[in-house]
Amino acid sequence: MTATFTPSISRPFTGPFGADTTAGEIVAGLDLGGRRAVVTGAASGIGLETARALASAGACVTLAVRDLDAGVAIAAEITRSTGNELVSVARLDLTDRTSVRAFVANWDGPLHMLVLNAGVMAAPLTRTADQWELQFATNHLGHFALATGLFPALVAADGARVVSVSSAAHLRSPVVFDDVHFHGRAYDPWTAYGQSKTANVLFAVQANRQWGGDGIHVNALSPGGIRTNLQRHLGPAELASLEQRGAATGWKTPEQGAATSVLLAASPLVEGIGGRYFEDCTEAGPHVPGTDRGVADYAVDPESAERLWDVSTATIRS
């Protein structure tokens, strides 16, 4: 790993796209032939649409999924809809260190785009075999192990992009370093989810500092509100509340929800930009109290980002 990269100061990114933009519109006219992408959680929702958009522009796309049968079916469907036969499937269970290591060991050659999309939301208290809290393990630690394991492949791409899918739910909680896995404090599903989504942003901040000198740029994003399988753990009252909020702010389609991920993974408009948080295909400003817009100060705090990197490294190696 090279010395810490210090990015140049530049104006916040704004572009021609917005909340209604689809992933297909982002890649319209782009030629991604010869470029390789991995999308985690690509068997449904915005992961599927992210993979489809990249494949439609000619990229060689690997769907990293837990359920191989579902992944194979989705890969075939993407090939039918895009005409791109360079769509493959590989098993990846982010809660299983052996699975992550196997995925990394089996990867060969450069990797140009890594989209860390898979996730679990508001799950009841569940612990992995390592006694890690499920949401933090899935949403952050598994992705951290995957990305750091694939670092040589990213370097080999000479200009790789890493995309960390966070959420406006990061506003619910910072990373509580004294008890990340809720061994001592009372468990709340939404607090745990918020903590894991803050970790996704902090990862982007520190990874860009660590890897920017190697030409790897890392950004985080909120995809917005989308009805997907992510809501499978919610009860009737929570679903009703979410529906009410979505009706007020406007639901996105999965194609619209994938747009910001695809922008950060593939668009030349964000070339050289890293360590930032995006929403609706534009760089977000500071959080506006009373809203779910913007990024929390604690999610882009460089000291917290460095601390999380160190803690995560020690955890996955323990």
Give the three-state DSSP class for 75. helix
Give the three-state DSSP class for 123. coil
Marked catalytic residue, from 187, 193, 277, 298: 193
Positive or negative, the Cα torsion across 15, 173, 118, 100?
positive
Backbone angles phi, psi at 272, to 5 degrees: 85, 0
Separation between Cα atoms, residue 63 and residue 43, nearest integer Å:
7
Instruction: Confirm whether 187 is a catalytic residue.
Output: no
- Please, what is the angle between helix 302-317 and helix 142-149, to 10°? 90
Beta bridge partners of 127: 133
**Which helix H or strand E contains 63, and what residues bound it?**
strand 60-65
Task: List, in sequence order, every beta strand (DSSP E) within the chain.
Answer: 36-40, 60-65, 87-91, 113-116, 161-165, 217-222, 277-279, 282-283
Pairing state between β 282-283 and 277-279: antiparallel
**Token digits for 26?**
């982002």
Separation between Cα atoms, residue 113 and residue 154, nearest integer Å:
8
Separation between Cα atoms, residue 219 and residue 202, nearest integer Å:
10
**Token digits for 95?**
């809660």
Separation between Cα atoms, residue 248 and residue 76, nearest integer Å:
36
Catalytic residue set: 193
